[in-house]
Structure 1
Amino acid sequence: MAKEKKDKKEVANKRRTPAVPPKKKRGSLKDYFKGVKVEMKKVVWPTRKELGSYTVVVLVTCAVFALAFWGIDSGFLAILRGLLGITM
């Protein structure tokens, strides 16, 4: 009996104490840049030809989206002008 009460108290005490997260160790700025240097050596950079093709893809995609948004905007403008009877 006494042991059961003692066990219950221990369990109750364990529940009350909040878990304290471990403190994170702060590294130095020098270590950070060493790590950056190591990771940058692992990067596989694109060739000049690949970079040129990627640039073309980005420019074409931007142009397509710009034209699409212009078309949608013009369509909404035409609809609103028709509904509100605005002429220019």
Structure 2
Amino acid sequence: MAKTSPGEFIRQVRAETAKVHWPTRKETIATAIMVLIMTTLLAIFFFGVDAFFATIVRFLLGLLG
């Protein structure tokens, strides 16, 4: 396996970093807003599912006692 010198490694890293498409400020804000919206929707959904199952479990336990 070929060894790469630290200087060559840094040059390779800089070359690869130059190829990256960095998002604009507008794209970053839009993505962050979408993440917040989706997180909120999923939280509400899972809260509802959890409440539904909790009701079923309470009902079933009430039948036993």
Same fold (TM over 0.5): yes
Could you tell me how far apart the structure 2 residues matched to 1:76 and 1:29 are? 57
Structure with greater proportional helix content: 2
Q: 1:40 aligns with which of 5, 10, 17?
A: 17
Report the counterpart of residue 26 of structure 2 in structure 1: 49
Report the counterpart of residue 60 of structure 1 in structure 2: 37
Aligned length: 63
Identity %: 37
**TM-score of the superposed pair, with normalisation by structure 1:** 0.61
**TM-score of the superposed pair, with normalisation by structure 2:** 0.79
1:7-30 C-alpha deviation (Å, 9 max, x unpaired): xxxxxxxxxxxxxxxxx2233344
**What SS does structure 2 have at the residue aligned with 1:33?**
helix
**Corresponding letter in the other structure for 1:69:** F
Indicate yes or no: 2:20 matched with 1:31.
no
Q: 1:69 aligns with which of 36, 42, 46?
A: 46
Q: Which has the higher contact order (CA 8 A, sep 6+)?
A: 1
C-alpha change, 1:79 and 1:30, in structure 2 (3 Å) is farther
What are the ranges of 5 or more consecutive residues in structure 1 without an aligned counterpart?
1-23
What are the ranges of 5 or more consecutive residues in structure 2 without an aligned counterpart?
none
Shift of 1:71: 0.9
Please, what is the CA RMSD of the aligned residues?
A: 1.8
